[in-house]
Structure 1
Amino acid sequence: MGSTAGPVWGRREQQDFRSRVRGTLLGVALGDALGAPVDRATTDGIREAHGAEGITDLAPAHGRRGAVTHHTQLTLFSVDGLIRAQVRRDTGAWHPPTDVHRAYLRWATTQRDWGPDERRKDDGWLAREEWLYARRDPVRTLLLGLGDETMGTPSAPKNPGEAGPEAAARSAPFGLLVGWEPQLVVQLAVECAAQTHGHPVACLAAGAYAVIVHALARGESLDTAVQQALALLGVRPGHQPVSDALQRALGAVRQGMPTPERVSELTGNATAEGLLAAAVYCALVGEDVRHGLCLAVNHDGPSAAAGALTGGLLGALHGETALPPAWLAELEGRPTVLELADDFAMEMTQGPALHGPAGASPAWLTRYPRGA
């Protein structure tokens, strides 16, 4: 794992980047929260419960409006792991998949324990956020993949038959490593996906999603971002199902008005490549963020995953100010998401001022310890 020297960060560039980081993470959470109340319901069932247009506003799930699921939880721990990787680099240790895996194990603890354990000093601040200690329908694949300390890798993946969308749905943060070469972003997302979802389709869908976010975060259009992803996928064995799904998404854009049936068709049997295709389609045809997210969740299938994937794309593309403010006002955990987003943006643009040869900020190293 390596990276380039990265962009030159003027103040305007830093502000744009921070807006896209916030947009991406809040977008994932909003899409996840919008889809949670109707997750895996049928289109007919959604219309019966929410009216002819389906769900068009946040609705109660897990005891409140604006509740997020494991997709958002794991996305936040992906960010935490990436910041920790940067901080640990000072020690000469540089293997981001290991740091992300440690972060995922901290998430797994939140699924077992009642609350934070203050004795675990190396956990950092995110693992001490009490609201994250909640089981939000995590699929068994995640709990099995992170059920012991062994890290799955592409050559020895966890759950090698699992092709679900959950690994892709936590992979937006890898795309926010805008200083990295695109092929390294793909590789990192693939390696981290293999920690829970070992099927090539799940891993390559995660890689494709991350590199699309990467292009968007660097200011490219969504169409250009998808073309770049297709070019990078084309050199990888087993890419055809994911490449074909992305091509179907692009083709569907030209087939007239978007409908729930078209989204369901793209989603297919709810494996990773279908959800990726549906998200790309909804982000391309949505008139605005709200419309794109409503399209993403009103269909037969995993609405929370589709919403999370679509929200990450729209947030990276448009930045935080394009997100619906009334939804943000009700979003569970918004202060945590914003704090983590700003920490990530600060680490990626000004890391040497926080920790490095010239000295380190004790507060930063308390938040993101080097030890684990």
Structure 2
Amino acid sequence: MIRVKAEQLAAARGCVLGLMLGDAIGATGGNVPVSGTLRATSAGQLACFTVDGLIRTHVRMTHKGVCPPPISVWHAYMRWAAMQGISGIEPWSQEDWPDGWLATVPVLAERRGSAPATVAALKGKTAGTLDKPVGTSIGAHGLTRSLPAGLCAWWPSSENFGAEISALTHTGAAVDAAALGSTLIRLLGEGKPLAEAMERARRDSLGRSVHTGDSLLGPALEAARSKPRQAVELARLAGDAKATSALAGGVYVAMSFAMRYEIRDALAFAASVGDGRHAATVAGALLGAAHGPDALPVDWLSRLELAWVADTLARDLVREVTERPSGSGYGDATDAHWWDRYPGW
């Protein structure tokens, strides 16, 4: 079994909670209500199912010895679509499907905005791959929902994990942005300081694709150094709903508000500018992974609709990798209900 440090658990919890908080604050357009529930969007819902799929990947691998990682995530998105009542989604099983505990969360069954590229791919019944993409979308969902893949450093091909998940439904620059974004999360999870993780990700990605880390991260990092916290700069970097814009905007915001006590200001700033809602989601994941859940604004977290769901998923991801609660061919289950929570079929 893998031993986990307290810092790694904090990074996982901070990443998922920060992503969900950024998603909810981004949806307010910067006008955060003084009371009431902070609601998730379809991006936050899909991120929850990404983590569920990651857990099931490890469960299946433990019990059956093989599991192409993106397949479990693909099936997780199918369950999301089925819960949403989206037509054209065929059940995987005639009984007890959608399965797992996420299927019992009412909020995840509510329509919270569109996810056209994801829905189109699911209806087409063909999962894209890095070599054979489906569709033409380079939208932000290809990045935001893939960020938790960076928490899976245990997987041999973890550097491509985020890209593979993005490629299920997106293509091109969105996949490149997902690769970089999940790499940043991985580096932060390993304990790298925020600035060091940024430079390392930029340097390590040089030459890997047309959209290198230098072209995606370079302008955002330079803007954060020379012109931090300026709405006009964020609007320039994140001027549309593309994945590359979401990554550039999220990096700019995170580096402009890099201290742990500045997360509230970071998310409010991102949400207030143009298409900054996706940048807020990325910034929340990055800052949460860098500083841990205790740095996130408690008053906002207490109103976050999916806070308990997000935190449970993050904890369960770490627990699955370190404890294997459902057992394996070489050991008995320590949690009799784990397989029902995360079936590894």
Q: Normalising by the residue count of structure 1, what TM-score does the alignment of the two structures yield?
A: 0.84
Alpha-carbon displacement from aligned partner over 1:190-228 (angstroms, at most 9, x marks no partner):
111111112x10001001000001101111012221222
1:155, 1:257 → 2: CA distance? 38
Matched, 1:175 2:150: yes
Gaps of 5+ in 1: 39-53
State the Cα distance separating 1:30 from its structure 2 match.
Answer: 0.8
Query: Paired residue for 2:249?
Result: 278
SS in 1 for 2:71: helix
Query: Paired residue for 1:364?
Result: 338
Q: How many percent identity over aligned positions? A: 33
State the Cα distance separating 1:94 from its structure 2 match.
Answer: 2.1
Alpha-carbon displacement from aligned partner over 1:25-72 (angstroms, at most 9, x marks no partner):
11111111111132xxxxxxxxxxxxxxx53x3479xxx630010111
Q: 1:209 aligns with which of 165, 181, 185?
A: 181
Query: Paired residue for 1:197?
Result: 170
**RMSD of aligned residue pairs (Cα, Å):** 2.3
Matched-pair contact (CA < 8 Å) for 1:59–1:65:
no
Q: 1:20 aligns with which of 11, 28, 33?
A: 11
Q: 1:107 aligns with which of 80, 101, 117?
A: 80
Quickly say closer, same or farther: Cα 1:104–1:331, change in 2 above 3 A. same
State the Cα distance separating 1:146 from its structure 2 match.
Answer: 1.8
Matched-pair contact (CA < 8 Å) for 1:113–1:133:
no
Quickly say closer, same or farther: Cα 1:343–1:100, change in 2 above 3 A. same
Quickly say closer, same or farther: Cα 1:156–1:118, change in 2 above 3 A. closer
Q: 1:138 aligns with which of 81, 91, 114?
A: 114
Matched, 1:150 2:141: no
Give 1:218's aligned amino acid.
Answer: E
Q: 2:277 aligns with which of 304, 309, 314?
A: 304
Matched-pair contact (CA < 8 Å) for 1:157–1:197:
yes
1:256, 1:314 → 2: CA distance? 19
State the Cα distance separating 1:254 from its structure 2 match.
Answer: 2.2
Matched-pair contact (CA < 8 Å) for 2:8–2:189:
yes
1:328, 1:142 → 2: CA distance? 28
2:228, 2:210 → 1: CA distance? 32
Query: Paired residue for 1:291?
Result: 265
State the Cα distance separating 1:139 from its structure 2 match.
Answer: 3.0
Alpha-carbon displacement from aligned partner over 1:91-141 (angstroms, at most 9, x marks no partner):
122211111111111111122269x99942562111221221011112322
Q: 1:343 aligns with which of 308, 313, 316?
A: 316
2:26, 2:272 → 1: CA distance? 8
1:214, 1:224 → 2: CA distance? 12
SS in 2 for 1:270: coil
1:36, 1:27 → 2: CA distance? 14
Quickly say closer, same or farther: Cα 1:188–1:98, change in 2 above 3 A. same
Matched, 1:187 2:160: yes
Query: Paired residue for 2:52?
Result: 80
State the Cα distance separating 1:149 from its structure 2 match.
Answer: 2.6
Alpha-carbon displacement from aligned partner over 1:146-200 (angstroms, at most 9, x marks no partner):
22432111222121x211111110122111113346xx333111111111112x1
Q: 1:33 aligns with which of 7, 24, 30?
A: 24
SS in 1 for 2:337: helix
1:333, 1:254 → 2: CA distance? 34
2:190, 2:228 → 1: CA distance? 29
Number of residue pairs matched? Answer: 335
State the Cα distance separating 1:17 from its structure 2 match.
Answer: 2.1
Matched-pair contact (CA < 8 Å) for 2:326–2:338:
yes
State the Cα distance separating 1:245 from its structure 2 match.
Answer: 2.6
Matched-pair contact (CA < 8 Å) for 1:69–1:304:
no
Quickly say closer, same or farther: Cα 1:366–1:223, change in 2 above 3 A. same
Give 2:196's aligned amino acid.
Answer: T
2:332, 2:98 → 1: CA distance? 20
1:19, 1:213 → 2: CA distance? 12
Quickly say closer, same or farther: Cα 1:70–1:150, change in 2 above 3 A. same
2:98, 2:120 → 1: CA distance? 24
2:193, 2:269 → 1: CA distance? 20
Matched-pair contact (CA < 8 Å) for 2:27–2:41:
yes
State the Cα distance separating 1:230 from its structure 2 match.
Answer: 1.8
Query: Paired residue for 1:44?
Result: none
